[in-house]
Structure 1
Amino acid sequence: MAKAFASQGDMTEKNISFTEVGEGLWAFTAEGDPNSGVIIGDDSVMIVEAQATPRLANKVIEKVREVTDKPISHLVLTHYHAVRVLGASAYGAEQVIMSDTARAMVVERGQEDWDSEFQRFPRLFEGHESIPGLTYPTTTFSDSMTVYLGNRRVDIMHLGRAHTAGDAVIHVPDQNVMFTGDIVEYHSACYCGDGHFADWGDTLDAIKWFDVDAIAPGRGDALVGREMVNAAIKNTRDFVESTYKPAARVAAKGGSLKDAWDAVREACDPKFADYAIYEHCLPFNVARAYDEARGIDTPRIWTAQRDLEMWEALQG
C-alpha cells in the first residue's frame, strides 16, 4: 500500500501574520498556508481569497476588525480551488467576484476538487462541517473589471493562464500593490496540478510589467519593496520551469510518469526541498507537467480516487 500524502500528516498549527503592504492594504499570511488579502476602501472592505472553511475565514475577519470596523462588501476569489473559496459564506459580502473561467471550473469540477483537497490536506479544512456548499460568484468578468470602494479604485484582471486557466489578479493603483493569488509564491512550492506551464511565464511577465511596489502572494510572506517582488517573480518562474522541463524531456522520450517523477526530483530537490508544501505539491505537479508535455492542454480533473491511483503509481 502506498504511503500517505505528505500533507495528510501535516497537522502543525501555523503562525499568522498580518502585514500592511500599502495604505489600507493588508496581507494575511500563515507560514505557507493559503493567504488572504484585505483592501480597505472609503466605506467598505474587499477581501481577496476566502479560506477553506467559514471557521478559518473568521480568523481573517478577526484581523480585519483589528484595523477597521467598515463592513465587508466584496469578496474576490482568484480561482476555484476549494481551499480558497469554501469559506466565503462567513464574510456576508454583497458581491462575490470570479472570472468567467473560474466560475465554469466550479461547475465542471468544483465538487471533485473539494473531495480531493479534503482527502489530501485535512488540516486546511478545520470546521469543514460549517461549509454550506460550493461557492458560486454573484459577479463575473472575462478580461477585467473595476470596482470602486468609494474613491479607491480596484482593478481585477485575468492576465493569462498560470496556476489555473481562470486566475485573477487584483491591482490597487493608488498604492501600486497587487494581490496575485497562486500565480506568485514566496518560499512556498507552487501547486501546478491544474496549471498551464507553457503560459505561466508569460503571465508572470504581465505581472512584472506593472512594476508594483508590493505583492500579497498566494502563499508565503508579503512581498514589500521591488527587490523582494522581483526576486519572488524570478523564483516562481524558476520553480515552474524546473518542474516542467525535466518532465517534458522524459515525455518526449516515451518515459513513464515514474521516470518523470525521478527526473523532476533530481532537478527540484536541491533548490526547493525546504519550501512549504513542497512534498505535498510535487506528485500533482509532476503528473500535470507530464500530461501537458504529452499534449493534454486542459488539466484532467483530480478526484479522490485519481489522487490515490497517481500516488500509488509514483511509489512503484
Structure 2
Amino acid sequence: MTRVFASQGDLAEKTVSFTEIGRGIWAFTAEGDPNSGVIIGDDAVMVIEAQATPRLAGKVIAEIRKVTDKPITHLVLTHYHAVRVLGASAYGAREVIMSEAARAMVAERGQEDWASEFARFPRLFAGHEAIPGLTWPTTTFSDRLSVWLGRRRVDILHLGRAHTAGDAVVWVPDSEVMFTGDIVEDRSACYCGDGHFRDWGRTLDAIAAFRPVAIGPGRGAALAGEAMVSRAIESTRDFLDSTFRPAARVAARGGTLKEAWDAVRAECDPKFADYAIYEHCLPFNVARAHDEARGIDTPRIWTAERDREMWAALQG
C-alpha cells in the first residue's frame, strides 16, 4: 500500500472535452478531474463550477470563447469545496450563486478545506498563487432560485444533503438538462469525506424524478440520453451503498477505522478500483462512513493535520 495519498502522485495532465449536451448547453470535462458546465442564454452566459484556480478557470473560458462571445454574467457554485470555487475571480461574473448552506460551510470550514485539498491534490491547484482568497457568493438561496438569461430560465435547486450539506443542482427546463455537481459521478469515485450517506440516495431519487435527458456530472464524461443518465445515477448509488454498508457493519460491533477500511476495500475494490480518483477518495470515504454509522451527523472538518492522522491510522 502506498505511504502517501494517491493524489499526491497524480501528476498527469488530463485531456479536456467540451461537449454540447443540449441547445447552447455545454459540459467541460477532463478525464475525472472536476467538471464545469456552461449555459448560453439570449444575451449572457452562466458557468457552473469555477475550477480550483484562475489559471484552470482560463481553460473553461477558452472553450466558451470558441462558441460564444456573450458575457459571463452568472457563476453557480454547487458546493463549497476548494477545487470547485477558488477560480471564481477569473470569470468576472456579476453574480456568484451558492445555497445558504454552502455559504455557511465556507465560513465554517472553507479555509481548512483549502489547506487540506491543496496538500492532498497539488496538481489541481496549478497557478494557486493567483487565488485572491476564499470565494464568497453575492447571491444565496434556501431551496430554489430561478435566473433568467434573456428568455431562458435556469432553476438552481437544493434537493437535499448528499456530497455536502449544501449541494445545489442546476436545471434547464427548456432542454431537460441538469448539472448535478458531485452528487452524480460517471466512472469516478464519489468523494464522501463531507457527505451524508443516508440522505444521498434520496437526493439521487429527487434528481431522477426530473427525468433529465442529459446530465453534466461532477466528474466523468458528459451523460447524454436517458440510458446513460440512469446508469450513472445507479452506479453512483451502488458506490455509496458499497462504501457505507461494510463500514456500518464494522461500526455496529465497535470495530476500528482500520477494520472498516479493510471491509470497504473488500466490497469496493472488485467493482470500482479502476474508477478515477478511487484511491484518493477511499480513506476519506471510509472515515466519514465510519463516523456517520456511529451517529456523527455533521461531518468533522478536514484539516491537513487530521488528514495525516487518519492516514497514519489506516496504515496500521
- Normalising by structure 2, what TM-score? 0.99
Aligned to 1:148: 148
Question: Partners in 2 of 1:235 and 1:9 — Cα distance?
Answer: 27
Question: Structure 2: which amino acid aligns with 1:260?
Answer: A
Deviation readout 1:48-86 (Å, 9 max, x if unpaired): 000000000000000000000000000000000000000
* 1:24-39 correspondence runs (5 A): 24-39=24-39
Aligned to 2:254: 254
SS in 1 for 2:205: helix
Question: Partners in 2 of 1:179 and 1:106 — Cα distance?
Answer: 21
Aligned to 1:66: 66
SS in 2 for 1:116: helix
Question: Partners in 2 of 1:20 and 1:220 — Cα distance?
Answer: 15
Question: Partners in 2 of 1:140 and 1:129 — Cα distance?
Answer: 27
Question: Structure 1: which amino acid aligns with 2:159?
Answer: L
Q: Does 1:221 align with 2:221?
A: yes
Question: Partners in 1 of 2:81 and 2:118 — Cα distance?
Answer: 11
Aligned to 2:274: 274
Identity %: 78
Deviation readout 1:290-315 (Å, 9 max, x if unpaired): 00000000000000000000001000
CA RMSD of aligned residues (A): 0.5
Aligned to 2:9: 9
SS in 1 for 2:296: coil
Question: Partners in 1 of 2:143 and 2:55 — Cα distance?
Answer: 32
Deviation at 1:209, TM superposition (A): 0.1
Question: Partners in 1 of 2:58 and 2:152 — Cα distance?
Answer: 25
Deviation readout 1:252-310 (Å, 9 max, x if unpaired): 00000000000000000000000000000000000000000000000000000000000
Question: Partners in 2 of 1:203 and 1:140 — Cα distance?
Answer: 20
Deviation readout 1:130-163 (Å, 9 max, x if unpaired): 0000000000000001000000000000000000
Question: Structure 1: which amino acid aligns with 2:59?
Answer: K
* 1:281-300 correspondence runs (5 A): 281-300=281-300
Question: Partners in 2 of 1:212 and 1:5 — Cα distance?
Answer: 36
Question: Partners in 2 of 1:265 and 1:273 — Cα distance?
Answer: 9
Aligned to 1:105: 105
Deviation at 1:192, TM superposition (A): 0.2
Question: Partners in 2 of 1:214 and 1:169 — Cα distance?
Answer: 13
SS in 2 for 1:164: coil
Question: Partners in 2 of 1:212 and 1:82 — Cα distance?
Answer: 28
Count, aligned residues = 315
Deviation at 1:167, TM superposition (A): 0.1
Aligned to 2:180: 180
Gaps of 5+ in 2: none
Question: Partners in 1 of 2:312 and 2:40 — Cα distance?
Answer: 46
Question: Structure 1: which amino acid aligns with 2:294?
Answer: R
SS in 2 for 1:216: strand
SS in 1 for 2:155: strand
Deviation readout 1:22-62 (Å, 9 max, x if unpaired): 00000000000000000000000000000000000000000
Q: Which runs of 4+ in 1 moved over 6 A?
A: none
* 1:46-85 correspondence runs (5 A): 46-85=46-85
Question: Partners in 2 of 1:199 and 1:56 — Cα distance?
Answer: 32
* 1:115-126 correspondence runs (5 A): 115-126=115-126
Deviation at 1:3, TM superposition (A): 1.2
Question: Partners in 1 of 2:66 and 2:238 — Cα distance?
Answer: 37
Question: Structure 1: which amino acid aligns with 2:13?
Answer: E
Question: Partners in 2 of 1:284 and 1:226 — Cα distance?
Answer: 31
Question: Partners in 2 of 1:208 and 1:308 — Cα distance?
Answer: 37
SS in 2 for 1:74: strand
Aligned to 1:208: 208
Question: Structure 1: which amino acid aligns with 2:260?
Answer: A
Deviation at 1:225, TM superposition (A): 0.2
Gaps of 5+ in 1: none
Question: Structure 1: which amino acid aligns with 2:248?
Answer: A
Question: Structure 2: which amino acid aligns with 1:164?
Answer: T
- Normalising by structure 1, what TM-score? 0.99
